[in-house]
């Protein structure tokens, strides 16, 4: 298992958009732009979404995923992760999306609560391979 180098942790403090890639039932890739977070103590990337979305169905069937993200200020500074989803949980997901809304939207609470097709979930990704570029 690899970790995100500390010099790239700042990407998780800004409005960095990540591309989250999962596998469809027929084996083709599906990629979605997402808000991204990182728990350095647990060494897990965190994607917050709602049940009923394709990415949740995909990771519950096939946990191998990819995540890539570029520094909003320098697209040649990036982190790319191949990993495995080791948990999909509702625990803490609502508080987490509110915290992400603060970072990405500048608001105290996620404005779309209740509009999703299902409950909020956290997808926790254990990095197996981490590739970076830039300082």
Report pLDDT digits (tens) over 69-97.
Answer: 999 999 999 999 999 999 999 999 999 99
64 within 8 A of 84, measured Cβ to Cβ: yes
Identify the DSSP state of 58. Answer: H
pLDDT at residue 58 in the model: 98
53 within 8 A of 115, measured Cβ to Cβ: no
Q: What is the pTM of this model?
A: 0.94
pLDDT at residue 116 in the model: 66
CA 12 – CA 96 distance, rounded (Å):
13
Q: For residue 66, what are its two tokens?
A: 């990819």
Angle (CA) 108-47-130 rounded to 5° is 130
CA 108 – CA 52 distance, rounded (Å):
25
Question: H-helix or E-strand containing 19?
Answer: strand 17-23
Q: What is the pLDDT of residues 6-16, one digit of tens each?
A: 999 999 999 99
pLDDT at residue 1 in the model: 84
Residues 6+ apart with CB under 8 A from 55: 20, 22, 30, 32, 47, 49, 123
59 within 8 A of 123, measured Cβ to Cβ: yes
Fold of the domain built from segment(s) 6-133:
Pnp Oxidase; Chain A (2.30.110)
């Amino acid at each position: 298992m690899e970790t995100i180098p500390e010099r790239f942790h700042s990407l998780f403090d800004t409005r960095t958009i990540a591309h989250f890639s999962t596998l469809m039932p027929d084996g083709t890739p599906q990629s979605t732009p997402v808000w991204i977070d990182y728990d350095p103590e647990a060494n897990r990337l965190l994607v917050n979404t709602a049940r009923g979305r394709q990415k949740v169905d995909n990771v519950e069937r096939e946990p191998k995923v990819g995540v890539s993200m570029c520094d909003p200020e320098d697209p040649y500074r990036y982190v790319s992760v191949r990993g495995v989803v080791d948990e999909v949980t509702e625990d803490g997901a609502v508080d987490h999306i509110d915290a992400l809304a603060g970072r990405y939207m500048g608001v105290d609470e996620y404005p779309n609560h209740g509009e999703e097709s299902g409950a909020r979930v956290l997808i926790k990704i254990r990095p197996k391979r981490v590739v970076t570029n830039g300082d």
